[in-house]
Structure formats: structure tokens, C-alpha cells
Structure 1
Amino acid sequence: MKKISLLVISLITMASCQQTQKIGFVDNSKLINEYQEKIDVEAKYKTMIEASNKNTDSLAKAFQAEYQEFQAQAASMPQDKAQARYQQLGQKQQMLQQQIQMSEQQITVESQKEIDSLISKVRKFVKDYGKTNAYDYILGSNDAGSVMYGKEGDDLTDELIKALNDSYKK
């Protein structure tokens, strides 16, 4: 009886040790950088930045022309009028710089919100993918070295990029 009990316990122990966990890993940088939605978001903000830069350049040229015109006339103006105009131009320059800075900051804030939302979306997608495909763990690799080595067969990066991009196209 004792031998049978020991045998049963041994078999149960061996069987429980035989269970393997399904583990995969993903190159975080590659996953995000090759995700089409991120590429589209970057293109959208690149276009916005280029338009903002063109606007900034035109404002700067207009101000520069106005300042040069003032400099040409300043010698023939009374000292007090020249000083007042110089102060007006200084204030105008500060306002233009603030306007440009606010515009740049607005673009930065909007793009960061969109990127943060996109990263959350990718994390949720990977989590759902792991559940759907019976993974116990999906690890993220990055330059900091959270996954130093993984078998190529366990690398899910390309598979997830394809699934993410297919999902985005819908």
C-alpha cells in the first residue's frame, strides 16, 4: 500500500513538473516603430510641424522687414519717437516668440497624448493576443536588456506587427 501511494505521488509530481509554460517575447521598439498607426501619427505631426515652421518663417521675415524699415527711418526720427517705436517692436517680437512657442508646445502635447494612447492600445493588444493564443507570459525586450536572449521561435515581434497592422487597417 505504501509503495502504491509513493508511486502515485511520484507520478503526480513528475506530471506536474512536465507542464511547460508558453512564453514569447517582443522587441518593444520594433513593435511600436513598425506599427502603421504610429507611422501615420508621426507623418501627421511632421506635416503639422512643417506647416508651423513655414508660418514661423513668414512671421519672422515680416517682422524682420518691419524692423529693417524702422532702422532705416530711425536716424531721421526724433529720439523719443524712435525709442517708443523700438519698444513697440521689442514687445511685438516677444509676442511673436510666445505665439510660436505656444504653437510648438501645443503640437508637442497633442502628439504625446496620441503616442501615449497608441502605446496603451499596443499593450492591450499584446495582452489580448497572449490570452487568445494561450501564452503564460509575453516579455518585452528593449535596449535596457529585460530579455537578453530568446529563441527565435519565441520571438513574436513580426507576428504581432502583422496582427496589429491588420487590426489597424480594419
Structure 2
Amino acid sequence: MKYTLALALFALLFTSCQQQKIGFVDNGSLINEYQEKIDIEKKFQTKINAFQKRTDSISKAFQLEAQEFQVNASKLSQKQAQEQYEALGKKQQMLQQKIQFEEQQIQQQSQTEIDSLISKVKTYVKSYGQKHGYTYILGSNEGGSVMFGQDENDLTKTILEELNNAYSAKK
């Protein structure tokens, strides 16, 4: 009985003294310096630039149409002028709705891709931790979830390099 109790106590002591392997990553750096995120941002910046050019072109064309209406309004009867003014107002509202819809589409697409990217990075960090025997990999951010960590426990650069290498290999 004493032998069993001593063995159990030894086993408990042995397991409680084992070191846990803990690392951390800087969430902001890991995401913002990941090449795939940079590429996604470039892609959407190109879409946004094209959208702004179309919007500017549509706005200029509408302004010209409105100016033409103002010049010719004095030549029209009050009823005709009112009808054209209402048609112009409806057209302006329709154009604004179209622009707003397209802008929302771009934002939704961008957010979907960024959310997918973040999920992919989290999965990769989890896999990295399991592969390298970590008990925990914490995420640091400006909010202070990791207030201090020794440099040798900072996995940000290591994981970022592996992510970027894997992404480059897929390209």
C-alpha cells in the first residue's frame, strides 16, 4: 500500500514538474506582413480604383446632363420642366443606389477574403503548435493580451516566413 501511494505521489510530482512549451505571435504583424494579405489588398485597391473611375465618370456625365437641363429649362413649359426635373431626380437616385450597391459588394468581398485569410492563419498557427510541441501559442496585440514575452518565445517571424513560403509555393 505504501509502495502504491509513493508511486502515485512520484507520478503526480513528475507530471506537475514538466515544463509547458509556450510561445506567442504578434497578431498584427503576422496578418499584415503575410504576403497573401498584401496581395488581397492590392487586388481590392485595383477594384476600388476602377470603381472610383467609373463613379467619377458617371457623376460627370450626370452633372453635364443636369447643367444642360438648367440651360434649357427656361425654354420649356413649366409642366415639361417639372417632368424633366423629376426624371433627373429619379435618375440621380438610381445612380446613387447603383454606386452604393457596388461599393457594398466590394466591401463584402474584401471582408470575406480577409476573414478566410485570418481563419487560414489561425489554423496554420494551431498546426505549427501541435507539430512543434507547444502547449500554448498566445496572440499579442495592442490590447495587451501578451504584455511581455521573451524574444526566444516570439514565433511571429518563424511562422510568417513559413506562411509566406507556403503561399509563394502555391503561386
The CA distance in 1 between the partners of 2:5 and 2:65, in whole Å, is 97
- The residue identity in structure 1 corresponding to 2:47 is M
Counterparts of 1:128-147 in structure 2, within 5 Å, are: 128-147=127-146
The aligned amino acid for 1:123 is K
2:164, 2:126 → 1: CA distance?
Answer: 16
Match of 2:96 in 1: 97
Letter in 1 for 2:127: D
**Correspondence for 1:19:** 18
Q: Report the CA distance between 1:13 and its aligned residue.
A: 4.9
* Cα drift, residue 93 of structure 1: 0.3
- The alpha-carbon distance between structure 1 residues 27 and 76, as it changes in their structure 2 partners (threshold 3 A), is same
SS in 2 for 1:140: strand
Amino acid aligned to 2:80? K
**1:80-159, aligned counterparts within 5 Å?**
80-159=79-158
SS of the aligned residue for 1:84 comes to: helix
Q: Work out the CA distance in 2 between the residues paired with 1:6 and 1:76.
A: 107
One-letter code aligned to 2:158: E
Give me the identity figure in percent. Answer: 55
Q: CA deviation at 1:15?
A: 2.9
Map of 2:37 onto structure 1: 38
Structure 2 distance, partners of 1:5, 1:121, is 48
Aligned CA-pair RMSD: 1.7
Structure 2 CA distance for aligned equivalents of residues 105 and 10 of structure 1: 63
Q: Select between 59-68 and 145-154 the one with higher mean Cα deviation.
A: 145-154
Structure 1 unaligned regions, length at least 5: none
Matched residue count: 169
For 2:61, what is the secondary structure of its paired residue?
helix
Could you tell me the TM-score, scaled by structure 1's length?
0.93
Question: What is the alpha-carbon distance in structure 1 between the residues aligned to residue 154 and residue 72 of structure 2?
Answer: 70
Query: Deviations for 1:47-83, whole angstroms, at most 9, x for unmatched residues?
Result: 0000000000000000000100010000111110000
Following TM superposition, the consecutive aligned residue runs of length 4 or more in structure 1 with deviations greater than 6 angstroms are 4-7
SS of 1:147's equivalent in the other structure is coil
